[in-house]
Amino acid sequence: MKGLLLSCTIAFLSFGVVSATEDAYLPGQPVPFLQGYNAEYHDHFYTTNAQEMENAITLYKYNSEGDACRVFDFQAPGTVPLYHLLQPTVVDNFYTTDENERNSVQSSGYKYAGIAAYIYPSAVYGTVPFYRLYNPTVHDHYYTVNENGKKAAAQGGGYVDEGIAGYVFPV
């Protein structure tokens, strides 16, 4: 029986069904939350969809800033939606887990763009805070898991610390 199990496992792995590449993610596991930035519009953009990020880079001149963190692209137990809204006049991508806030900002010109990801509303094992900052001068929302990045943006970058958007997995 052990020999059969070992043979099946080797056959399974040899066909490349399971891969240990950097880009392979197991179903049910957190995925990269890709971060882009457009210097012309002073706008940060986030998505779990690599093609959507590629379109932002190609069509709208965003630069990839890599993975902001890891999130779920489905509603895992205990997670809540991270709503994505866009203010097209000033070009600001905004993300919130608060349904009331989502509804409220639509009255100031933000358009609902769907659910960007699913994150935890409070800390669970292995997660870190996903800080939310806003620069009122350039109308940009910026999100980070990096405490030093948060401090630098608030101290010298003109950003106001708006607290914690939720909890995510670090890169």
Burial of 114 (0-12, 13-18, 19+ CB in 10 A): exposed
Distance of CA 85 to the CA centre of its chain: 13
Q: In which band, very low, low, confident or very high, does the pLDDT at 27 lie, cut at 50, 70 and 90?
A: confident
Condensed to tens digits (0 to 9), the pLDDT of residues 139-171 reads 999 999 999 999 999 999 999 999 999 999 999
Contacts of 74 (CB under 8 A, 6+ apart): 28, 118
CB-side exposure of 112: number of CA atoms within 13 Å? 15
At 62, list the tokens. Answer: 């965003």
Judge contact between 78 and 119, C-beta under 8 A: no
Condensed to tens digits (0 to 9), the pLDDT of residues 29-54 reads 999 999 999 999 999 999 999 999 99
Query: Domain boundaries in the chain?
Result: 70-168
Residue 71 has pLDDT above 50, yes or no: yes
At 118, list the tokens. Answer: 């699913």
